[in-house]
Amino acid sequence: MTEQEMRKRLALLKTEHRDMDAAIDALLASGSHDQLQIARLKKRKLNLRDQVSRMEDALLPDIIA
């Protein structure tokens, strides 16, 4: 995967993470008591955060300070 492709993928992951956050907030605001669905969304959001973190680490060069 080229650096440009990685940056595009990173942008998509960040967008999906923000969308997941909005979906969770909407469910909570609507008074939804579907805790299983909320838990699944939160788990997916954490997975996205981990993917974003790994992608950012791959894009940033290791610099010894």
Q: What pLDDT does residue 49 have?
A: 97
Q: Report if residue 26 sits inside a domain.
A: yes
Residue type, 12: L
Domain count, the chain: 1
CA 20 to each of CA 16, 32, 61, 62: distance values in angstroms, whole numbers, following the listed order: 6, 16, 29, 30
For the full predicted model, state whether its pTM sits above 0.85.
Answer: no
For residue 14, what are the domain limits?
3-59
Average pLDDT across each block of 10 residues of the chain; the chain has 65 residues. List them in order. Answer: 92 96 92 88 97 92 70
Q: Report if residue 47 sits inside a domain.
A: yes
Would you say 59 and 10 are in contact if contact means Cβ atoms under 8 Å apart? yes
Q: Report if residue 65 sits inside a domain.
A: no
Distance of CA 1 to the CA centre of its chain: 20
